[in-house]
Amino acid sequence: MQLKPQDFLVALKLVAWSGQRWTYAALAHALGLSTSEAHACVKRGLQAGLLAVNALEAASHWGAAAHEPGAIYRLARRTRLSASELTQVAGTDNPARANPRNLAEFAVHGAKYAFPAEKLGLTLGVPTSHSAPAFDGVFAPGSDAMVWPHAEGAVRGIGLRPLHPSVPYAAMQDAQLYEMLALFDALRAGRARERGMAAQRLAALINPTQEVAHG
């Protein structure tokens, strides 16, 4: 099993959707993916530990009564699912949530190596990295703008290939997701001061209850 960029995108979207119910159709539409691709992303995210099983939903799907604390406890405490169980979970609605600790660690320390930045030429696009709204007022003017190339973009800057082709669309639908994606771009393509701030803010957005060391 190899993680794909869209798996990380899905995991960040579930952070933005924390506490909300969702369906695969809604997830796919929000991210510009197919429904089958959304299923596959969740399955890989569970396998990698970036996502965790929504115990109440899984218990219901597997026939365990929601009012049986013992059954829910066992499901909630399990750390690894079999291949058949992963397939079953991937077939339910609202089956998973972000695993904040693992996802924050991966976002800060691993994702920039798994999905390295690729800078392009000057182009029109959607602002990202230090140029995005997440950085508004944080850094003094002077840095060249950085953008995701996009036909409807209004800002000219250095092109940065997005994590996944659907990222500009997905970001424009969800301000919190946009912020996390822009921070990730600053982490993998920014200068030292931008990387340091981005690591702290991205970790805090994903896992508000625990600090993740940045580097």
Question: Can you tell me the distance from the alpha carbon of 75 to that of 56, in angstroms, rounded to the nearest whole number?
Answer: 8
pLDDT given for residue 71 in this prediction: 30
Which amino acid is residue 72, in one-letter code?
I
CA distances for 154 relative to 147, 149, 168, 175, angstroms: 10, 10, 13, 18
In the chain, the amino acid numbered 135 is F
pLDDT tens sequence across 96-122: 999 999 999 999 999 999 999 999 999
pLDDT tens by residue, 43-73: 999 999 999 988 654 444 433 333 333 333 2
Alpha carbons 66 and 210: distance in angstroms, whole number: 29
**Pick from 76, 98, 96, 71: nearest CA to 86:** 96
76 has a pLDDT exceeding 50 = no
pLDDT at 72: 31
Please answer whether residues 163 and 181 qualify as being in contact, where contact means their C-beta atoms are separated by less than 8 angstroms.
yes
Q: What is the mean pLDDT of residues 27-38?
A: 95
User: Is pLDDT of 93 > 80?
Assistant: no
Res 204 pLDDT > 80: yes
* More confident position, 77 or 143: 143
The predicted structure's pLDDT at residue 211: 54
Tokens of 98: 């972000």
Pair 43, 90: CB distance under 8 Å: yes
So what's the pLDDT on residue 154? Answer: 85
Q: pLDDT class for 163, splitting at 50, 70, 90?
A: very high
pTM equals 0.81
Give SS3 for 93. coil
DSSP helix/strand/coil, 102: helix
